[in-house]
């Protein structure tokens, strides 16, 4: 039933592999065996897409209810025993997941060996309830009242470029000068090419930059900036290490860029929060009490 639900929610047998941890043949075999057991066809299969039969649609709906009830029962048992165990499904942004979360998972599993992590990295906004996630990490505006959001760390957006780029094109001192420079921009940036800058003295201005490249990956933006291909405005957790090493130079001293962002951990509101979610929430709060990407003071 879990495999069938994963296939329907992900849209294909191939996509269900990432959710279930099974091979594609195993996913296909389990769904086929389920259809044989029930004596009905659950899915219409074509070379292009999958779709539910009428019976499959009803069965999918009831599966979601039953699996949810099973999870609730396991949560209650886990709460009574205070035993953190089971599969913990987490969604996180790609860049933050690779740069900041990946080094932490080993420490968490050492502390909680009975918890199995199932991590999905994606920059799209996932629906925790509809897609069956236990929790998620987000660095964006929070609008879902069904979720409990716990702040982990603040994020600062930094305008930066390589020393070689600045030697060739000159160094901008004021935001309005940025109009004359090529930019490497993040495709999913909500404000597009329009940036709001604020000065510590209280001044502010809005600038429309000239993007020559759009990339849907912040680490790629950083690497292109390091290679001297333009100015990038990226979160500090992506560019701070390169700034500290001298590969990038922070621009516009005294100005802050864009909106204030906060890294949150989110989980659905429940009467009984499973111990596995509690353990991960507390672990992340502990690990980001001092954000690892922030420069440390000299000894």
258 & 163 share domain: yes
Does a structural domain hold residue 230?
Answer: yes
Does a structural domain hold residue 298?
Answer: no
pLDDT at residue 297 greater than cutoff 70: no
pLDDT, tens digit (0-9, with 9 covering 90-100), for 284-296: 999 999 998 886 6
pLDDT at residue 133 greater than cutoff 80: yes
pTM of the predicted structure, to 2 decimals: 0.70
CATH number, position 233: 3.40.190.290
Residues with Cβ within 8 Å of 263's Cβ and at least 6 positions away in sequence, in order, are: 96, 137, 138, 139, 151, 152, 153, 154, 155, 288
Tokens of 119: 């991590």
Residues with Cβ within 8 Å of 151's Cβ and at least 6 positions away in sequence, in order, are: 262, 263, 264
Does a structural domain hold residue 56?
Answer: yes
What's the pLDDT score for residue 143? Answer: 52
252 & 160 share domain: yes
Does a structural domain hold residue 70?
Answer: yes
67 & 159 share domain: no
Does a structural domain hold residue 113?
Answer: no
pLDDT, tens digit (0-9, with 9 covering 90-100), for 6-30: 899 888 888 888 888 888 899 999 9
pLDDT, tens digit (0-9, with 9 covering 90-100), for 177-201: 999 999 999 988 878 889 999 998 8
158 & 252 share domain: yes
Percentage of the chain lying above the pLDDT 70 cut: 91
pLDDT, tens digit (0-9, with 9 covering 90-100), for 73-103: 665 555 555 678 888 999 999 999 999 999 9
Strands (E), 145-190: 147-161, 182-186
Number of domains the chain contains? 2
Residue in the structure block whose two tokens are 């989980």: 267
Q: How confident is the model at residue 71 (pLDDT cuts 50, 70, 90)?
A: confident
End of a domain among 47, 64, 81? Answer: 81
36: containing domain: 1-81
Lowest mean pLDDT among 52-61, 249-258, 288-297: 288-297
Does a structural domain hold residue 128?
Answer: no
What's the pLDDT score for residue 72? Answer: 66
How do beta strands 182-186 and 210-215 pair?
parallel
Residues with Cβ within 8 Å of 250's Cβ and at least 6 positions away in sequence, in order, are: 158, 159, 160, 243
Does a structural domain hold residue 93?
Answer: no
pLDDT, tens digit (0-9, with 9 covering 90-100), for 186-241: 988 878 889 999 998 888 999 999 999 999 999 999 999 999 999 999 999 999 99
163 & 76 share domain: no
CATH number, position 30: 1.10.10.10
End of a domain among 61, 81, 101? Answer: 81
Does a structural domain hold residue 178?
Answer: yes
């Amino acid at each position: 039933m879990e495999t069938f639900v994963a296939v329907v929610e992900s849209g294909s047998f191939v996509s269900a592999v990432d959710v279930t941890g099974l091979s594609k043949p195993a996913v296909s075999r389990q769904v086929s065996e389920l259809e044989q057991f029930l004596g009905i066809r659950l899915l219409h299969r074509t070379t292009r897409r999958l779709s539910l039969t009428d019976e499959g649609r009803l069965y999918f709906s009831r599966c979601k209810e039953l699996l949810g009830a099973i999870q609730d029962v396991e949560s209650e048992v886990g709460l009574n025993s205070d035993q953190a165990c089971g599969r913990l499904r987490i969604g996180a942004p790609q860049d933050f997941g690779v740069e900041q979360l990946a080094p932490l998972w080993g420490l968490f599993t050492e502390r909680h060996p009975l918890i199995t992590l199932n991590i999905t990295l994606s920059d799209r906004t996932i629906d925790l309830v509809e897609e069956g996630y236990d929790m998620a990490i987000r660095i964006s505006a929070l609008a879902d009242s069904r979720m409990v959001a716990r702040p982990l760390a603040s994020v600062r957006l930094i305008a930066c470029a390589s020393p070689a780029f600045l030697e060739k094109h000159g160094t901008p001192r004021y935001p309005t000068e940025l109009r004359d420079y090529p930019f490497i921009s993040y495709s999913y940036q909500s404000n597009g090419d329009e940036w709001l800058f604020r000065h510590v003295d209280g001044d502010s201005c809005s600038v429309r930059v000239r993007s020559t490249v759009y990339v849907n990956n912040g680490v790629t933006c950083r690497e292109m900036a390091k290679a001297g291909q333009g100015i990038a405005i990226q979160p500090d957790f992506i560019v701070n290490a390169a700034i500290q090493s001298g590969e990038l130079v922070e621009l516009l001293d005294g100005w802050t860029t864009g909106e204030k962002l906060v890294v949150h951990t989110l989980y659905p509101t429940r009467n009984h929060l499973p111990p596995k979610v509690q353990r991960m929430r507390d672990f992340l709060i502990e690990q980001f009490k001092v954000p690892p990407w922030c420069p440390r003071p000299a000894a």
